[in-house]
Structure 1
């Protein structure tokens, strides 16, 4: 029998009487049939308040690289909690974590800590503007860099507000944004090196930084096409632009050296979040020393009462030690299991005539639900994704999966963790078979 969620329904109704909209992050309200409430997790599994067990491929939006509630991490946090959670001062732990990041990541000559990747993005953009004396930031359609006034410019505009092919819109999805912020951005299309060259040329001498997700995980899980990263690096070097890699999702998932080492490039600054703290509020900015000069001199303000608090540092130290210990065996294991899961989902899709197209590296991938009569093949940019993805139909399949105990992210993203096993993949596909069969029987396209 498919899962039901009466206790979550009850708690969500109660939450709306105290918490604005009943949730503490707007995206969580997307979950159907109701935003779920969880009691505990263990490894690859999550258990909700109704006693339902899920094989979890949402995995804390990618933060739980090490699985739910790993004992070593819990012990490290507990040990530190007995010593103190916050001093608004220094501890040896912050040096321990910074030195590990230097060891692991190419170009990580200096480090600063924050509590979220959104904060780190703001720090990186401020540094880039101060370093170059220039006003503009170039970013790409569909790339997500936190929820701030700056981070969401041009993220996911509706088709009727895209702007032209040559000049994509700088629209922000939220009201209440400082209007002038939008004018400090240039938006380019992802995976179009020649278009990028043209955008940089149009704003010659005005661009402080190019910021990007090395693999566009937030929209369709799109790897860079050949020459894309190389073009960014070339343009940054030739024009004195700061190259900023946002590895909030890809950091440590793609190995100890992150996606930059996996793909073979070295940015000037790197944003780290999610897996660096394994589920605690912790993030870092790392990069070449010369780009930290304005922070070192005090000319750029970088502050935060809870920055580098010892509780989160204890968790981060444990997390990084796990990745270091894996050595060159990581991320091959997650890739192998993820590719099996992708292949199994493809087989179920063909069996039940459901037009699902998985795309990605296995360790993180996206399931696009193709609209009728659109072409198959890789999706390379945000506009192509919107043209081809049938979001309402995916939402129905995702709900069927959830009610059979397989949990993926609402927008179609799947994460593997180091806790997932072959048995998890086999069981997930067995459960998914029921979900695909139910979806195929129930789905009716809107009139």
Structure 2
């Protein structure tokens, strides 16, 4: 067993709390926000942890406690916090102006970097969020094909666009039979017409995908797929599944949209290139903005021509007051330029080494747990066998409680581990951080045998 480092030994009280200043801030926040926060994704146990500053791979909260950050603003900060090249680029740009109604050289530079790096990314448009990127990718597919329906993966998260949210939070009570996944609503009041326009597929089910896509082929504009859907298990795609999607799509004139807002961090050329997916359109975000708001939709020149306004109103209009704003452009370029082949190779090695340590700890403890993920992303499952798709990854109440207790234990030892979703590494991390994660995990397994028995 790797010893827990001194700086993580008993660094938090036995019953971890958000801290007095965080608690006070949350009480104030409850008077101005509907639930005390402005993002539903914020962890609270019972109050959120308010952060004062970030330092590389670490954050410091308002109560002065330091944490190794495995969330990194939901995988966005691949270089960690306060990355010096980004700071320098943003400082220079701020002195010249933060936003304009005109284009800037910075947007051309970032677009060129991305198009040169990613196969099949010939043209690109910048937006402000991953949600917008997915939304405009879907709209572009509709404009190009003249069809309205989309297909998507059960349990996969693609932001806050009505059609992309369908079946995002399905449960055993409503997700339907294995061969006919139900188009379930995500929020109260979803129009029935939205549900009618979404075909739900199960991840890594090639036969089901062929059947369901073929059944409504003439209506489907695009298949929306995250190559490794994080909320659906952070599970690797099987080659047979990707082949089934692509062959069926090409046969019926259906476009393939690769949502790499999160998983673009898996490889120098992106996740699609890593797994052999050949999409027609991409949705990008997170790491390409260097810690600032950004999104991008891109793809083949032929399809992206739906945005072309050179001869009047385009088939699809896209604008936005802050789209391609120079702050996000220079920050994104600084971050991406620093992510060379060597940086990705180093993250790959760190991630591989961490997963080996976690698997070894699981084996020694004979624990009914498994690990999924790739490169700098990983997820711990309260399942003895790694899941292949969302239904297998879905947690029972006992399994969800295990995840919560695991996250709490890590917090007590100075590590932020997202509960039940993707955790990530960043370039400022090294072997000391990897060993710290593994040692805290092993200590948790040693001290919580009762929880392990509950999930068997």
Note the aligned Cα RMSD (angstroms).
2.0
Corresponding residue SS for 1:78: helix
Structure 1 residues 128-151: Cα deviation after superposition (integer angstroms, max 9, x where no partner): 111111121010101111022122
Q: Would you say 1:117 and 2:140 are equivalent positions? A: no
CA contact (8 A) 1:214 1:259 kept: yes
CA contact (8 A) 2:231 2:421 kept: no
CA contact (8 A) 2:290 2:328 kept: no
Structure 1 residues 260-319: Cα deviation after superposition (integer angstroms, max 9, x where no partner): 121223211011011111221011111101111221141212121111111111111111
Any residues of structure 2 matched to 1:427-446 within 5 Å, and which?
427-440=436-449, 445=454
CA contact (8 A) 1:396 1:443 kept: no
Q: Would you say 1:303 and 2:319 are equivalent positions? A: yes
Residue number in structure 2 paired with 1:256: 268
In the alignment, which of 300, 309, 313 is matched to residue 329 of structure 2? Answer: 313
Quickly say closer, same or farther: Cα 1:338–1:94, change in 2 above 3 A. Answer: same
Corresponding residue SS for 2:35: helix
In the alignment, which of 120, 128, 136 is matched to residue 141 of structure 2? Answer: 128
CA contact (8 A) 1:33 1:399 kept: no
Q: Would you say 1:384 and 2:392 are equivalent positions? A: yes
CA contact (8 A) 2:402 2:451 kept: no
Displacement after TM superposition at 1:395 (Å): 0.8
Quickly say closer, same or farther: Cα 1:351–1:406, change in 2 above 3 A. Answer: farther
CA contact (8 A) 1:404 1:434 kept: no
297-306 or 311-320: which moved more? 297-306
Give the distance between the partners of 1:224 and 1:232, measured in 2 at CA.
Answer: 11
In the alignment, which of 332, 335, 359 is matched to residue 348 of structure 2? Answer: 335
Quickly say closer, same or farther: Cα 1:362–1:313, change in 2 above 3 A. Answer: closer
Q: Would you say 1:292 and 2:304 are equivalent positions? A: yes
190-199 or 349-358: which moved more? 349-358
Residue number in structure 2 paired with 1:207: 220
Give the distance between the partners of 2:195 and 2:318, measured in 1 at CA.
Answer: 23
Residue number in structure 2 paired with 1:11: 25
Displacement after TM superposition at 1:232 (Å): 1.6
Quickly say closer, same or farther: Cα 1:440–1:406, change in 2 above 3 A. Answer: farther
Any residues of structure 2 matched to 1:178-193 within 5 Å, and which?
178-193=191-206
Give the distance between the partners of 1:86 and 1:264, measured in 2 at CA.
Answer: 38
Give the distance between the partners of 1:9 and 1:443, measured in 2 at CA.
Answer: 31
Corresponding residue SS for 1:344: helix
Quickly say closer, same or farther: Cα 1:352–1:171, change in 2 above 3 A. Answer: same
Give the distance between the partners of 1:225 and 1:425, measured in 2 at CA.
Answer: 28
Structure 1 residues 199-242: Cα deviation after superposition (integer angstroms, max 9, x where no partner): 11110211100110111222211111121222222122111111
113-122 or 381-390: which moved more? 381-390
Corresponding residue SS for 1:234: helix
Give the distance between the partners of 1:27 and 1:95, measured in 2 at CA.
Answer: 33
Give the distance between the partners of 1:206 and 1:303, measured in 2 at CA.
Answer: 27
How many residues are paired up? 436
Displacement after TM superposition at 1:380 (Å): 0.7
* TM-score normalised by L of structure 1: 0.93
Displacement after TM superposition at 1:398 (Å): 1.1
* TM-score normalised by L of structure 2: 0.91
| Structure 1: 5+ residue stretches without partners | 371-375
CA contact (8 A) 2:85 2:335 kept: no
Any residues of structure 2 matched to 1:13-412 within 5 Å, and which?
13-28=27-42, 30-251=43-264, 253-297=265-309, 298-323=314-339, 326-327=340-341, 329-352=342-365, 354-370=367-383, 376-386=384-394, 390-412=399-421
| Structure 2: 5+ residue stretches without partners | 1-9
Quickly say closer, same or farther: Cα 1:442–1:240, change in 2 above 3 A. Answer: closer
Structure 1 residues 25-72: Cα deviation after superposition (integer angstroms, max 9, x where no partner): 1121x4324311011111111111111111111111110011111111
Corresponding residue SS for 1:21: coil
